[in-house]
A and B are shown apart, each in its own frame.
Chain A
Amino acid sequence: MGDAIVITSGKGGVGKTTTTANLGTALALLEKKVCLIDTDIGLRNLDVVMGLENRIIYDIVDVVQKRCKLKQALIKDKRFDCLYLLPAAQTSDKSEITPEGMIEIIAELKQEYDYILIDCPAGIEQGYKNAVAGADKAIVVVTPEKSSVRDADRIIGLLEKEDVEPPHLIVNRIRNHMVKNGDMLDVDEIIQILSIELLGIVADDDEVIKASNHGEPVAFQPNTRASLAYRNIARRILGESVPLMSLDDDKGMFTKVKKFFGIRS
C-alpha cells in the first residue's frame, strides 16, 4: 500500500507544482514507484513542468466521469519508467471532480504505487477539498513572506480537521542575503509561528525556473543546490534522517529537522 501526500500552501504561486514535480523526480531517482496527480483543474501546470504536455489524451475529469479507465489517463514520464502523471483537465470546471471521486482514484493508485503526490490548487475552496480528500499525509509549502506564512497557518488549521497526519513544512525560495538583512523572515521565525515539523529548505534558484521551462524538473540535474535540496527531502520522506544542507556557512539553526514520516514498514 502506497502513501498519498498532498502538497498544498493556501497562497498561490509559492511552489506547489514545482515541489510536486521535483519530489516526484527525486523519489523516482530513488527507484520508488510514483504517481503525480494534478488537481488544479482549469489551470493545469504539472504536465508542462514535467514536459509531458504533448502526451495528454485523457485527464482526471475523464476518469472521475468514467469516460476512460484510470490506467488510460496515466502518462509515463520521459525519463523514468516508475514515474507517472495523472493530468488535470484544462477545459473543465472544478465542480466536475468530487472528494469521493478523488478518494476512489487514490485508493486504486495506492495498490500499485509507493507514493502518490497530489498537487493542490491555491485557495481553500472546492479544489483544495478535492485535493486533500484522499491524502494520508500533507506537505505545506511556504515562502519567507508574511502573507505566505499567514495562509500556510490557515491551511494547517484546516488540515487539522481532515483525516491526515500532522503536516510537514517545506520553506521554498529562501534568499540568503535578504534574510541576513532582515528583509525576509528566517526559517526559525517561520517554524516558531507554524509549529510544525520542518521537512526541508529550498533556496531561491534560477536553475529551478530554467529547468521548469525546459520541462525537466531541476531535481534531475546531478549537482545544483536546488536539486540536492529536493533529493534530500525525498530521502527524508523515505524515513532517512538527512541533516539540512546549510545555505551558507552559518549552521546556526539547522538542527531542528527530525526524521520525516517515520520508517516505513
Chain B
Amino acid sequence: MITIKGTRDGLTLYIDDTCSFESVIIELEQVLSTKYVDKDEPMITVTIHLGNRYIHKEQEEELREIIRNKKKLVVHSIESNVILKKEALQWKEDSEIKAITRIVRSGQVVEVNGDLLLIGDVNPGGKIVASGNIFVLGSLRGIAHAGVNGNRNAVITASYMKPSQLRIADYISRSPDYESEGVYMECGLIDENKSKIVIDRLQVLSQKRPDLNGFERRILNG
C-alpha cells in the first residue's frame, strides 16, 4: 500500500489511493518504525503523495502526528491530485482577472479577489483593492492596494499614475507633498532591497515579475 523512495532530499511516500485510510495509518506506523530509526543521521524530510485520495484536515493532522512522533522525521509536504470543489472555485476566483468598466469616484471602493483590470479612472478619494495585481487602463488618482492578503509580488500598473497612495501587501507609499505631475505607463512594485514600493517603467515587469506571464503561474502559485 505504501511505497517508499529515498533520495538525497529525503523520503517520498507514495500511498495507494484505493485502500481505506485506517489501513494506511496502520501500515504507515509499521513501515516507519521498522525502517528508519538510525540515530546518527540528520533530520530527514518526508513528502507524501496521496494520489487521487482526498483527506480531511483531521486526517492530515493524524498523518503528520505519526511522522512527527518518529525521531528524525519532519513532514515537508502532503500532496494530492484532488481538491474540494469549493477550494477549486476559490482558487479559480483568486487567479482570475476581473475586468471592471467604471469610474471609481471619491468615496467609492472597488474590491476583488484575484487580479483587477479596471477600465476607467480612480479619482482622488476613490479606492481599489485586489488580492492579486491591479491594472488600470485609465488614470489612477486615488488609492490602489494590490496583494491585499499579503502577496508582496503583486504589482500596480496604470496608463496614467498620480495616486495619492500605493499599497502592496503590507507596504504603503504616498504621493510627495509637493505638486507633481503624474507619470504615464508606469508600475508600482515592491523593491525588496530598498524595502519600499518603487515606481518604474512598465517594461521592467518582464524582468522583475516574469511570472506575470500566462496562466501557468496561477497553477504554480496555487
A residues sitting closer than 8 Å to B (CB atoms) are: 146, 149-151, 153-154, 156-158, 192-195
A157 contacts B141, CB within 8 Å?
no
The contact of B125 among A153, A192, A194, by CB within 8 Å, is A153
A150 contacts B125, CB within 8 Å?
yes
Least CB separation from A160: chain B residue: B105
Q: Say whether B121 faces chain A, with CB atoms less than 8 Å apart.
A: yes
* Most chain A CB atoms below 10 A, which of B105, B108, B123, B126: B105
9 contacts between A and B (CB under 8 A): A146-B124, A150-B124, A150-B125, A151-B106, A153-B105, A157-B107, A158-B107, A193-B121, A194-B123
8 closest A-B pairs (Cβ-Cβ)?
Answer: A157-B105, A153-B106, A154-B106, A154-B107, A153-B105, A153-B123, A157-B108, A150-B106
Contacts of A194 in B (CB 8 A): 123
Q: Say whether B28 faces chain A, with CB atoms less than 8 Å apart.
A: no
Contacts of B107 in A (CB 8 A): 153-154, 157-158
Contacts of A146 in B (CB 8 A): 124
User: In whole angstroms, how far apart are the Cα atoms of A149 and B108 in the complex?
Assistant: 15
User: In whole angstroms, how far apart are the Cα atoms of A146 and B164 in the complex?
Assistant: 14
Contacts of A151 in B (CB 8 A): 106
For the complex, would chain A's binding face be called helix, strand, loop or mixed by DSSP majority?
helix
Count of A-B residue pairs with CB < 8 Å: 31
Contacts of B121 in A (CB 8 A): 193, 195
Contacts of B108 in A (CB 8 A): 157
The contact of B124 among A156, A158, A193, A195, by CB within 8 Å, is A193
Name 16 extra pairs, CB < 8 A, besides A153-B123, A157-B108.
A146-B124, A150-B106, A150-B124, A150-B125, A151-B106, A153-B106, A153-B124, A154-B107, A154-B125, A156-B105, A157-B105, A157-B107, A193-B123, A193-B124, A194-B123, A195-B121
Q: Say whether B199 faces chain A, with CB atoms less than 8 Å apart.
A: no
Q: What is the minimal beta-carbon distance from A142 to any residue of chain B, in angstroms?
A: 12
User: In whole angstroms, how far apart are the Cα atoms of A254 and B106 in the complex?
Assistant: 26
B141 contacts A193, CB within 8 Å?
yes
Contacts of B106 in A (CB 8 A): 150-151, 153-154, 157
Least CB separation from B142: chain A residue: A153
Least CB separation from A194: chain B residue: B123
Q: What is the minimal beta-carbon distance from A167 to any residue of chain B, in angstroms?
A: 12
User: In whole angstroms, how far apart are the Cα atoms of A146 and B124 in the complex?
Assistant: 10
Contacts of B126 in A (CB 8 A): 153
Least CB separation from B141: chain A residue: A193
Q: Say whether B137 faces chain A, with CB atoms less than 8 Å apart.
A: no
Q: Say whether B103 faces chain A, with CB atoms less than 8 Å apart.
A: yes
Q: What is the minimal beta-carbon distance from B164 to any residue of chain A, in angstroms?
A: 11
Contacts of A156 in B (CB 8 A): 105
User: In whole angstroms, how far apart are the Cα atoms of A151 and B121 in the complex?
Assistant: 16
User: In whole angstroms, how far apart are the Cα atoms of A213 and B141 in the complex?
Assistant: 40
Least CB separation from B102: chain A residue: A160
Chain B, 86-144, CB within 8 A of any chain A CB: 103, 105-108, 121, 123-126, 139, 141
User: In whole angstroms, how far apart are the Cα atoms of A195 and B123 in the complex?
Assistant: 10
Contacts of A154 in B (CB 8 A): 105-107, 125
Q: What is the minimal beta-carbon distance from A143 to any residue of chain B, in angstroms?
A: 16
User: In whole angstroms, how far apart are the Cα atoms of A193 and B123 in the complex?
Assistant: 7
User: In whole angstroms, how far apart are the Cα atoms of A151 and B124 in the complex?
Assistant: 10
Q: What is the minimal beta-carbon distance from B125 to any residue of chain A, in angstroms?
A: 6
User: In whole angstroms, how far apart are the Cα atoms of A193 and B124 in the complex?
Assistant: 9
* Most chain A CB atoms below 10 A, which of B103, B121, B139, B141: B103
User: In whole angstroms, how far apart are the Cα atoms of A60 and B217 in the complex?
Assistant: 63
Q: What is the minimal beta-carbon distance from A15 to any residue of chain B, in angstroms?
A: 20
Q: What is the minimal beta-carbon distance from A11 to any residue of chain B, in angstroms?
A: 11
Least CB separation from B121: chain A residue: A195
User: In whole angstroms, how far apart are the Cα atoms of A194 and B108 in the complex?
Assistant: 14
- One digit per residue, 1 when the CB lies within 8 angstroms of any chain A CB and 0 when it does not, for chain B 24-36 equals 0000000000000
Q: What is the minimal beta-carbon distance from A188 to any residue of chain B, in angstroms?
A: 13
Least CB separation from B160: chain A residue: A192
Contacts of B139 in A (CB 8 A): 192
User: In whole angstroms, how far apart are the Cα atoms of A158 and B125 in the complex?
Assistant: 14
Q: What is the minimal beta-carbon distance from A201 to any residue of chain B, in angstroms?
A: 21
Contacts of B123 in A (CB 8 A): 153, 193-194
Least CB separation from A157: chain B residue: B105
Q: What is the minimal beta-carbon distance from B106 to any residue of chain A, in angstroms?
A: 4
